[in-house]
Amino acid sequence: MLKIAGRKHEIALMKKALKSEEAGLLAMYGRRRIGKTYLIEKVYSENIVFELIGLHGASLRQQLTGFSITLSAKTKTQNLKIPENWLKAFDSLKNYLNEQPKDKKQVVFFDEFPWLDTRRSGFLPAFEHFWNSWASRQPHLLVVICGSAASWMLKKVVHNKGGLHNRLTHSIRLLPFTLAETLEFLNLRNIKLSLFEITQLYMCMGGVPHYLKEVEEGMSAAQIINKLAFTKDGMLVKEFLFLYPALFDHAENHEAIIRALSTQRSGLTRQQLVELLPFASGGSLTDWLFDLEESGFIEVYRPFNKKQKESLIRLSDEYSLFYLKFIEGKAGKNEMNWLNMANTVQWKSWAGYAFEGICLKHILPIKKALGISGLTTTQSSWWYKGRDHKNGAQVDMLIDRPDNTITLMELKYSNSPFSITKKYAEELRNKIQVFTEVTKTRKNVFCCMIAPWGIDKNEHYLGLVQQQFTLEDLFERKEE
């Protein structure tokens, strides 16, 4: 049986394409290290008849040489002539495929597809011709194209307005693992950690499979983080330096945006972001933000009852946040750095924000816990500064529901059950009151709290908090 953590929806779609009686063109995109190649090669292992991997930064001649070497190995032909251009390369591929058995689906896999399209190479028009003139008419053929440059894949393939317009039969955007998928991934590798420790790992590296592969059995979360992020040869020490250049042209601009957003965990408006950037705003900024959003590094959302121009841009990539806060300039200087840092006030303060970010990414299990999985909802934040900065309030996350209800979510990270003090209870009552009065909502306003170990049901809890959830809910571990 195929053992792959998560990816159930994606695998079902991939298998559907494999069973189709028509030719298929499937595009998969997602950030670097997310497991695209692994997933494709595992699901289609028995069907791949040709696989070409693009070379990063290579010339047209080098790409065509790579094609020639790959085809030579498949045809067992020595000294196969390097094609003059991509049109002739695809013609050679067509001849090879015509000779293959047609009793089952043939999968032709182009990995790092954007890298093959070098400047003035004619690759994309040649591929379009290959698909439109021949491949699309072969019912036994499934062409799979994959790339880490998500914005390129969207502009040139998914939303192509030329020869590939409306030609895709399937499109898959591969995202990092959820908490539940991360647990499944680690279990498949015989890594036994508590939900709390897995959450700590997630805060630092997110659900990126390639990072999680480095987790070793028998180590605590603090030991794992210390090894990967603070020792001289740790994978996460220098990963940031290569992460964005491997995905984007002019990556220094994308990185500048990431650095600016890292200064404000709750997010920045576009105007606030522009003021922090070392370059002038313009049309290119829109493109760079699109690149980052589609690659899963940032999120853009509109706060409750706010105007479009007040939409917030938020850095959502856990690793980038952790690197810029703790790793950059510190890794390797103290071998036991993180084991000491993990208990500091600095970490505990940052961990609170990181936990909020995790909750914002796990709306689906939260809705499931609330019993509203089937309802269409809107998630957002809300704030009110108040007159002279008095009686202001801020809600990190609220869920606006069609059942005449708004749920205000309070997200609290702690190492033990969270206890509501008299002072915090007053702040919470004020927050609910200010929200109700300022928004003039006629909906029910309920308060729900999420904390790793839950909330103590003391005298301040009763009558104030309607529901509470724990990590068991975020990991979807509670029985129905």
Q: Give the pLDDT confidence score for residue 2 in this predicted structure.
A: 62
Across 25-31, average pLDDT: 92
Q: What is the pLDDT of residue 132?
A: 93
Residue 453 resides in a domain: yes
CA 248 remoteness from chain centre: 16
Q: Which residue type occupies 183?
A: L
Q: Assess if residue 138 is contained within a domain.
A: yes
- Residue 282 is classified by DSSP as S
For residue 383, give the H/E element and its range. Answer: strand 378-384
**374 and 426 Cβ atoms separated by less than 8 Å:** no
* pLDDT of 165 above 60: yes
Domain end (from 173, 189, 220): 173
Q: What distance in Å separates the CA atoms of residue 149 and residue 159, rounded to the nearest whole number?
A: 14
What is the pLDDT, as a whole number, of residue 410?
Answer: 95
**Same domain, residue pair 228 and 318:** yes
Q: Are residues 94 and 140 in the same domain?
A: yes
d(CA 412, CA 74): 56
In angstroms, rounded to a whole number, what is the distance separating the alpha carbons of residues 171 and 157? Answer: 10
Contact predicate 260/221, CB 8 Å: no
pLDDT level of residue 335 (50, 70, 90 thresholds): low
d(CA 299, CA 268): 11
- Residue 433's domain comprises 364-474
* Structural domain includes residue 59: yes
Residue 353 sits in the same domain as residue 368: no
Mean pLDDT of the region 276-294: 84
> Are residues 327 and 411 part of one domain?
no
Amino acid at 151: S
Q: Judge whether 389 lies within some domain.
A: yes
Q: Residue 246 corresponds to which amino acid?
A: A
Per-residue pLDDT band for 416 (boundaries 50, 70, 90) equals very high
Averaged pLDDT, 130-152? 91
Segment 371-398 mean pLDDT: 84
Q: Which of 29-43, 71-85, 237-251, 334-348 has the lowest mean pLDDT?
A: 334-348
Q: Say yes or no to pLDDT of 331 above 70.
A: no
Query: Domain holding 36: CATH number?
Result: 3.40.50.300
The verdict on 384 and 351 lying in the same domain is no
Q: Do residue 180 and residue 169 come from a single domain?
A: no
Find the mean pLDDT for residues 115-136: 93
Environment class of residue 280 by beta-carbon count within 10 Å: exposed (0-12), middle (13-18) or buried (19+)?
exposed
Decide if 468 contacts 425 (C-beta within 8 A): no
Determine the distance from the C-alpha atom of residue 169 to the mean position of all C-alpha atoms in its chain, rounded to a whole number. 23
Sign of the dihedral defined by the CA atoms of residues 226, 230, 232, 236, in that order: positive
pLDDT of residue 370: 94
pLDDT digits (tens, 9 = 90+) for 387-401: 755 678 889 899 999
Q: Are 185 and 331 in the same domain? A: yes
Tell me which of 149, 173, 197 is where a domain ends: 173
* Residue in the block written with tokens 């010339």: 59
Burial class (CB in 10 A: 0-12, 13-18, 19+), 206: buried
Average pLDDT estimate for 201-207: 95
Residues 198 and 347 placed together within one structural domain of the fold: yes
Task: Provide the domain count of the chain.
Answer: 3
What's the predicted TM-score (pTM) here? 0.90
pLDDT of 210 strictly over 50:
yes
**Calpha distance 17→1 (Å, rounded):** 19
Question: Residues 118, 252: one domain?
Answer: no
Residue at a domain's end among 342, 361, 380? 361
Share above pLDDT 90 across residues of the chain, in percent, rounded to a whole number: 67
Position 474 pLDDT exceeds 50: yes
Asked whether residue 271 falls in the same domain as residue 374, the answer is no
pLDDT at 1 over 60: no
Q: What's the CA gap between 390 and 405, in Å, rounded?
A: 27
Rounded to 10°, the helix 8-19/36-43 angle is 50
Residue 375 belongs to a domain with what CATH number? Answer: 3.40.1350
Q: How many of the other CB atoms lie within 10 Å of CB of 403? A: 10
- By C-alpha distance, which of 398, 396, 397, 399 is closest to 372? 399
Is the domain of 155 the same as that of 279? no
Q: Measured between alpha carbons, how far is 37 from 151 in angstroms, rounded to an integer?
A: 18
Mean pLDDT of all residues in 346-355? 88
Same-domain status, 92 and 236? no
Structural element, H or E, at residue 147: strand 141-147
Assigned domain for 1 exists: no
Give pLDDT, residue 150: 76
266 close to 396: Cβ distance less than 8 angstroms: yes
Count CB atoms within 10 A of the CB of residue 400.
Answer: 16
Q: Which of 282, 30, 37 is nearest to 151 (CA)?
A: 30
Assess whether pLDDT exceeds 60 at residue 307.
yes
Contact 172, 28 (CB under 8 A): yes
What residues have CB less than 8 Å from 358, skipping those under 6 apart?
Answer: 179, 199, 202, 203, 318, 474
Does residue 440 form part of some domain? yes
Q: Is the pLDDT of residue 332 over 70?
A: no
